[in-house]
Amino acid sequence: MRPGESDVLLVVDVQNDFCAGGALAVPDGDAVVPVVNRLAGRFAHIVLTQDWHPPGHQSFAGAHPGRKPFDTVELAYGAQTLWPDHCVQETPGAAFHPGLRLPRAELIVRKGFRPAIDSYSAFYENDRRTPTGLAGYLGERGFKRVFLVGLATDFCVQYSALDARRRGFAVVLIEDGCRAIDLAGSLAEALCAMAAAGVERVASEAIS
């Protein structure tokens, strides 16, 4: 599988807080970094997303007295998992992993910056209506296929994959370039949902 001019590598949230020692570390999250770096040389076009929360964001357990991380609450847009404070704007935890080597990345999409609404997907906020603008950017650039890597498979990667399909893009999940949180079976559910939506799954060795 050889990426072409209409393909883009979408690198989701490879940030310090999602890696070892971070506030919301994804198990083995650091392992995606060398995979992403190897893949970067095979793609002419790369886009990154960056979780970018203001202090006291409504998705933080600390913003809800009496609640703890991984509880679920109902917000205006529906059910929301509460997280430890993470990827707070202009903190080291929000920075990209220092091992990433993506000098040719063409765009960084920041998400989750609205205080009252979380944003897993690279394309839409969690209300499933408010766009980030990424679909328009990719469409105007003429991209047809999105290859996904990053953190975490069962949350931001999954939501990005499903929304990319919803917007008409072909989607390829590079499995060894992702890692999952896997809350109560969430990884298996995510893989099923992506398969049902037509997301192709490959290993990084399949990308030439």
Per the residue annotation, which of 19, 87, 156, 178 is the catalytic one? 156
Q: Residue 20 half-sphere exposure, CB side, CA atoms within 13 Å?
A: 7
Query: Catalytic: 19?
Result: no
Contact 42, 208 (CB under 8 A): yes
Per the residue annotation, which of 30, 87, 111, 118 is the catalytic one? 111
Which stretches within 41-157 are classed as H helix? Answer: 134-141
- Quick one: 9 exposed, middle or buried, by C-beta within 10 A (0-12, 13-18, 19+)? buried
Query: Catalytic: 144?
Result: no
* Phi and psi torsions of 147, nearest 5°: -100, 130
- Work out whether the CA dihedral 131, 27, 47, 164 comes out positive or negative: negative
Structure-token match 């997303």, residue found: 49
Spell out the residues 6+ positions from residue 197 whose beta carbon is closer than 8 angstroms to its own.
161, 162, 165, 166, 171
Per the residue annotation, which of 13, 30, 51, 85 is the catalytic one? 13
Just list the catalytic residues. Answer: 13, 111, 156
